[in-house]
Structure 1
Amino acid sequence: MSETPVPQPGFGTSGHEGATCTESVARALEAGYRHVDTAQMYDNEAAVGAALERSDVDREDVFLATKIHPSNLAHDDVLETTEESLDRLGVDTVDLLYVHWPTDAYDPEETLPAMDEVRDRGWTRNVGVSNFTVELLEEAHEILESPIVANQVELHPFLQQDDLVEYGREHDVTTVAYCPIAKGDVAGNDTLESIADAHDATPVQVTLAWHYAREGVVPIPKATGDHVEENYAALDLSLSDDELDRIAELDRGERLVDPDAAAWNR
């Protein structure tokens, strides 16, 4: 098990840059979020670090996650670039360090022992993976000495990833959901609109409540402005079994992030 359970919900920062990123993360922490997700690929670790420095929330109360760029997954590059990420974030350690994509420089026999070494050095408290299939998770479990705390994947009502969620439940791997509101596509869906109307809520809030109802799933919506608080308020929304069943029927295997090199395309 992880030293620290992955807090619900997370705050995503993909696509956030500069002052806007700093402002949004600081606002999220003020609203109550205690899990912030960034990555080397996002080129915003310094902006996230500025928000942590600015916030009144103590560092030890924030679950901070970042991810190693696919081009940095050779053994020595994992070590070097993790240290660089810590410098940009202005912290001594992160709470979760992910392999971002099992592509490019990813070599399980080289990359995964480096992740263990980073954890042994105290630069991360926990190790995770992202965009892994069940097969890659099984392989990683065989090689890693560290527990796999999380697998971060695209997950929303139109791509429900039941096999990965079930695997996570069976192996104590939290499924962290990126694109949790399908890049806003949940708005306008008739089923989600109908359920939202019944709760005086928005389709986005209904979608986040659906994520919260799935055991072992933690969504990381990104937001700016009033949407930061609006998304967080979904924690107070409870859906009926019938409503959850209706949402389950929306699954159509629709990927919004689908690079040719992804493991599921090999």
Structure 2
Amino acid sequence: MLENRGDYFKERIKELEKEAEHLQMQKQEIKEIITLSTRIFQNTQIVDDIHNINEQLNIEYLRLADVKMKIEKYNEINDLTKQSNEKGKEILEKTIEYEAEYNQYSENIENIETHFQNLVQAAYGEDGVLNYSYENDVKKRSSTGRIKICCQIADENSHGRLYMKINMFDLALFLNRIDNNTGCDLLIHDGSYCKPNPGAKAKVVNYVDNYLKDAEKGQYFITINKSEVEETDLEDFRKKKMIVAEFDREHGDEHRFFGCKY
């Protein structure tokens, strides 16, 4: 791909215009030759020259047709270049329009980023990174459209921290909806919350629980194994009556969900 197609086409157009001007001059010369040949044909009485003159005329007409065809091609290229420029202008205008629309949500974006920072601080006492940015380069294609999202925490390559990062990203969006009283005020994290970092999980759950109670709205449901949190945190959840349902896999599975073993 060329780095700057606009400049390339402009230079190419100039070259084609010069060549077209040269061809126009050739066309004029050919017309003059045809005129002269026609005049000779009309004025001469020499029968022997008629055949030669007709052959010359045919040659010149073929050359003239070739010149006309090339001029039409150059004009077609000019039209395509104009269309390409107009389409590029349209893309640029749309990009600017979408960026202006994106900027209208700057407060929401800042709020989401702040929630993520607070959740990482609550879980690990560290700083996390969550940045939204708008890609306004019309030459690129982004896998997330025009909005680029960067979300990172320390040591996120470990299994526990990676899943905690994903959960905290979800929670940042969820708490932003709670703040703005918009969208779904329910979030469900179904399945194991991941066994590593038991202390971090309990801290996040307590943080969200306190936030929703202060806001007096919103529901956050999670399913976790008892082994994924410290016993002291589990007991604290029981005292606060945060546990909706608790099932035990011991004692021959008699207390499992529906009393059935799957």
Larger helix percent: 2
Structure number with the higher strand fraction is 1
Is TM more than 0.5 here? Answer: no
Q: How high is the TM-score relative to the length of structure 1?
A: 0.24
TM-score scaled by length of structure 2: 0.24
| Structure possessing the higher radius of gyration over alpha carbons | 2
With a CA cutoff of 8 Å and minimum separation of 6, indicate the structure with the bigger relative contact order: 1
